[in-house]
Chains A and B, each alone.
Chain A
Amino acid sequence: MKGFGKLLMVLEAFFGGFYVAVTRNLFVPMLVYSGYSLQILSLVTLAAASVSILASYLIYRKPEIVGFKVKYKLLFFHTLERFFWLSLPLMLGNPNLMIVAYTIAQTITIPVGVLVTVAIFSQYDEADFIDLVVKRTAASSSASILGMVFSTYLTAEFLAPESYFIAYLSSTLIGLVSTAVLIPYKIPLNTDVQTEVNISEEVEVKKINTFILFACMMVGSNILGLAWSPFLKSLNAPVYIAVGLSLAGSVGGTVGPYLWKGYRQYLIAIAANVIVTSSVMFITLPQLHLILSFMASMTFIGVNLIATSIYARYVKVLGMVKASMFLTSANAFGLFIASFITSFVTNEPTTAIIFSTIFRLLALSIALLAIPETAVVSTPTAYEFGRVVYSSSVLGYTFAVETSKSTIKFTVEVLALTFLLMVLYFIYRIAGLIVGV
C-alpha cells in the first residue's frame, strides 16, 4: 500500500511538474512580449511574494487552517490553483487585474505545497520521506523538460496570444490529471497540528537555522533566475541559450537527486553550487552557461535534501503542518527578497549575481558552522554557532514584525481618517449638487 501511495505521489509530481514548467516558465516571456515593463514585472512578483509570505505566516500561526480535512482541502486548493493559473492569459490586457490574479495564483501554491507535504508526512517516516522527495524531484524535473519542449513548440508554431491560451489550457488539463491522481491517495482526516509546547532549545535553534539556510539558498536561486538571462543578453548570447538555460536546469534537476546521499555529500553539493554561482559572471562563452545551469540545478538539490531531512526528523516535535510550512515558505521568502533586491537595490545583472553568490555563501557558512549534522566543527561548537545565528535572526525577526505591525496599524488609522473625510466630502458634494451651490 505504501508503494502504491509513493507511486501516486510520484505521478502527481510528474504531471504537476509538466503543468508547473509550462505555466511558470511561460509567464514572464508572456508578460514581456505583451508589453509589460520590468517595473510592472517586479511589482507583479513582489506583490505575489508579499502575500505569499503573509499566507505562510498565517498558516504558521494557525496550523489548524490546514490541519483538518486535509484531503478535501488538498484537492480543493490543488484544483483552484490550476484554474487561477489558467486565468492569467485572460488578464493580459489589464495589468492591475494581472497583479491581483497572479498574487492569488501564487498565494494558493503555499497551502497546496503545505498540504502535499503534510500528505506525505502523514504516511511516511524520515527515510521514506527523503526517498520520496528524491523520486518526486526527479519525476518533476523530467516532466518539466517535456513541458519546456511543449511550450517552446507552441510559441514557435502559433501566434500570441493563441499560443498562450493553448499552452495554459493544455497544461491545466494535465495539471488536473495530477489532482485526479491524488483522489485515491490515503490521508488521515485530521493531522497532528500540535503547537510546539515542549520543544527543546536544540530543536528550536535547528528549526530556525535550517530555515535560514534554505531561505538564503532560495534568495540566491531567485536572484540568479532573474539576472541570468539579462546577463547572457549583455554577452550577446543567442536567444536559444537563454531558453536552453531552463532546459539544462531541468536535466540537472533530474540527475541531481540520485547523486547526493548523506549530509556530507549534501554539504559538498552546496559548496559546488556556490562555486558554480560565482563562476557565472566570469564565464564569457555563452555556450558554457548551459553547463553551468545544468550543474547549478544538479547541486541545488543538496540544500533541499538537508532541509527535508532535518524537518522530516523533527516532524513529530514540530507538527506536520509547521514542518511542511518551513519547507514551503522558504521559496516565497526567497522570491520576496530577490524581487526586492532586483527592484530597488540593483537591476544590473553582474551585481545581482554577486548578491546571489553572497546569499549562497551565507547559506554555506551556516551549513559549515551552525548545523550540527553538516558542520565541519565539533558538535558543541556547532551548537554555539547555531545559537548565535538563531539569536541574531530572532532579534531581527522580532524587530521586523514589530515595525511592520506598527506601520500597518498607522496605515489603517490614516486610511480610516481619510475615508472619514471622504464620506463627509461626498455627503456635502451631493448636497451642493442638489442645492445648486
Chain B
Amino acid sequence: MAFLNEILAELNDILHEVISLFPKLALVILIFAISLILIKYVDKLIRWLVKISKLEEFVKGILPGGLRIPISYVFSILANSGVLITATALAIRIFVPEYTQLYREALDYLARIASVIVISLIFIFGLDALIRSVKLEKKLDSFLLMITFLLILAVLIDLTALSTETKSALDFGIAIGMGLAIGAFAVWLFFSEHLTMTRSSEAINKN
C-alpha cells in the first residue's frame, strides 16, 4: 500500500508541476502565435517595400539576369529569422531562465553558421553572376568554381571543433594552394599561346 501511496504522491507532484507550467505554456504558445501572425504581415510589408523601392530592377540593372533568388525572399528570411529568434528568446526566458546564457552561446554559434552560409552564398551568387555577365569559357568556369569551393572550405574550417593550431595550418595550406592555383592559371592565361607556339616551332625544327 505504501508503494501505491508513493506512486500517487509522485503522480500528484507531476500533475501539480504540469498545472503550474500551464500558464507559462499558454504564454509561450501565445508568443509563437503572435510571432507567426507578425511574420505574415512583416513578410507582406517587406514584399511591398521591395516592390516600391524597385530593388529587384536595380540589381537586375547591375547583374544581368539578376540574382537566382528574389531579393524580397532574402529580406523576408532575414526578418523572419529575427522575429523567430526574439520569440524563442522570450520562450526560454519564461520557461527556463537559467538557460538564457546557453541560448546566447547557441545563438552565437548559429550566427557563425549563418555568416558562413551567407559568405558561401555570396561566393556562389557572385561567381554565377560573373559567369553570366562575362560569358566565360568552360575551363575558366571550372577554375572559378574550384576557387569558390576552396574559399568556402576556408570559412567552414572556422566552424569545426579542431584546435586553433590545426585550423590555422589548414587555412595556411588552403591559402598557399589557392595562390599557386591562381599563379598557374595566370601563367596559362597570359602565356599559353606563346608556349604553344614555342612548342610547335620546336616540333617543326626537330622534324
User: Interface residues, chain A, CB within 8 Å of chain B?
Assistant: 412-414, 416-417, 419-420, 423-424, 427-428, 430-431, 434-437
Do the beta carbons of B78 and A424 come within 8 Å of each other?
Answer: yes
Do the beta carbons of A427 and B50 come within 8 Å of each other?
Answer: no
**In the complex, what's the smallest C-beta–C-beta distance from B53 to chain A, in angstroms?**
4
Do the beta carbons of A423 and B79 come within 8 Å of each other?
Answer: yes
Task: Provide 22 A-B residue pairs closer than 8 Å at the C-beta atoms, listed in order of the A residue.
Answer: A413-B54, A414-B53, A416-B49, A416-B52, A416-B53, A417-B49, A417-B55, A420-B46, A420-B49, A423-B49, A423-B79, A424-B78, A424-B79, A424-B82, A427-B42, A427-B82, A434-B90, A434-B93, A435-B85, A436-B100, A437-B104, A437-B107
Interface: B45 (CB within 8 A): yes
B89 contacts across to A, CB distance below 8 A: 431, 434-435
A424 contacts across to B, CB distance below 8 A: 75, 78-79, 82
Do the beta carbons of A420 and B104 come within 8 Å of each other?
Answer: no
Do the beta carbons of B49 and A419 come within 8 Å of each other?
Answer: yes
Question: Most A CB atoms within 10 A — which of B75, B82, B83, B90?
Answer: B82
A419 contacts across to B, CB distance below 8 A: 49
Question: In terms of DSSP, what is the predominant structure of the interface of chain B?
Answer: helix
- Please provide the 7 A-B residue pairs with the shortest distance between their CB atoms, ordered closest to farther: A427-B82, A416-B53, A416-B52, A417-B53, A420-B49, A431-B86, A435-B89
- Chain A residue with Cβ nearest B54: A413
User: Interface residues, chain B, CB within 8 Å of chain A?
Assistant: 42, 45-46, 49-50, 52-55, 75, 78-79, 82-83, 85-86, 89-90, 93, 100, 103-104, 107
A434 contacts across to B, CB distance below 8 A: 86, 89-90, 93
Question: Most B CB atoms within 10 A — which of A412, A430, A435, A437?
Answer: A435
B103 contacts across to A, CB distance below 8 A: 435
B83 contacts across to A, CB distance below 8 A: 427, 431
Do the beta carbons of A413 and B53 come within 8 Å of each other?
Answer: yes
- Chain B residue with Cβ nearest A417: B53
Tally the A-B contacts, defined by beta carbons under 8 Å.
55
**In the complex, what's the smallest C-beta–C-beta distance from A101 to chain B, in angstroms?**
29
Q: How many Å lie between the Cα of A413 and that of B42 in the bound state?
A: 19
Q: How many Å lie between the Cα of A419 and that of B46 in the bound state?
A: 9
Do the beta carbons of B82 and A412 come within 8 Å of each other?
Answer: no
**In the complex, what's the smallest C-beta–C-beta distance from B145 to chain A, in angstroms?**
32
Q: How many Å lie between the Cα of A315 and that of B104 in the bound state?
A: 74
Q: How many Å lie between the Cα of A427 and that of B76 in the bound state?
A: 12
A414 contacts across to B, CB distance below 8 A: 53
A435 contacts across to B, CB distance below 8 A: 85-86, 89, 103-104, 107
**Given A420-B46, A423-B45, A424-B82; 7 other pairs, CB 8 A cutoff:** A413-B52, A413-B53, A416-B52, A423-B79, A427-B83, A434-B86, A435-B103
B54 contacts across to A, CB distance below 8 A: 413
Q: How many Å lie between the Cα of A414 and that of B53 in the bound state?
A: 6
**In the complex, what's the smallest C-beta–C-beta distance from A135 to chain B, in angstroms?**
52
Q: How many Å lie between the Cα of A423 and that of B44 in the bound state?
A: 12
- Chain B residue with Cβ nearest A427: B82
Q: Out of B45, B55, B104, name the residue touching A436 (CB < 8 Å).
A: B104
B50 contacts across to A, CB distance below 8 A: 416, 420
**In the complex, what's the smallest C-beta–C-beta distance from A173 to chain B, in angstroms?**
46
A436 contacts across to B, CB distance below 8 A: 100, 104
A428 contacts across to B, CB distance below 8 A: 82
Q: How many Å lie between the Cα of A361 and that of B70 in the bound state?
A: 59
Do the beta carbons of B100 and A431 come within 8 Å of each other?
Answer: no
Q: How many Å lie between the Cα of A436 and that of B86 in the bound state?
A: 10
**In the complex, what's the smallest C-beta–C-beta distance from B99 to chain A, in angstroms?**
12
Q: How many Å lie between the Cα of A436 and that of B97 in the bound state?
A: 12
B100 contacts across to A, CB distance below 8 A: 436
**In the complex, what's the smallest C-beta–C-beta distance from B178 to chain A, in angstroms?**
34
Q: How many Å lie between the Cα of A428 and that of B84 in the bound state?
A: 10
Q: How many Å lie between the Cα of A420 and that of B86 in the bound state?
A: 19
Q: How many Å lie between the Cα of A413 and that of B49 in the bound state?
A: 9
Q: How many Å lie between the Cα of A437 and that of B86 in the bound state?
A: 12
Given A416-B52, A434-B93, A437-B104, CB of A427 within 8 Å of CB of B86? yes
Q: How many Å lie between the Cα of A424 and that of B82 in the bound state?
A: 8
Do the beta carbons of B86 and A423 come within 8 Å of each other?
Answer: no
Q: How many Å lie between the Cα of A412 and that of B52 in the bound state?
A: 8
**In the complex, what's the smallest C-beta–C-beta distance from B183 to chain A, in angstroms?**
41
Q: How many Å lie between the Cα of A424 and that of B43 in the bound state?
A: 11
A417 contacts across to B, CB distance below 8 A: 49, 53, 55
**In the complex, what's the smallest C-beta–C-beta distance from A411 to chain B, in angstroms?**
11
- Chain A residue with Cβ nearest B101: A436
Q: How many Å lie between the Cα of A430 and that of B82 in the bound state?
A: 9
- Chain A residue with Cβ nearest B50: A420
B104 contacts across to A, CB distance below 8 A: 435-437
Question: Most A CB atoms within 10 A — which of B45, B85, B90, B100?
Answer: B85
Q: Out of A423, A430, A431, name the residue touching B46 (CB < 8 Å).
A: A423
Do the beta carbons of A430 and B75 come within 8 Å of each other?
Answer: no
**In the complex, what's the smallest C-beta–C-beta distance from B165 to chain A, in angstroms?**
29
**In the complex, what's the smallest C-beta–C-beta distance from B151 to chain A, in angstroms?**
26
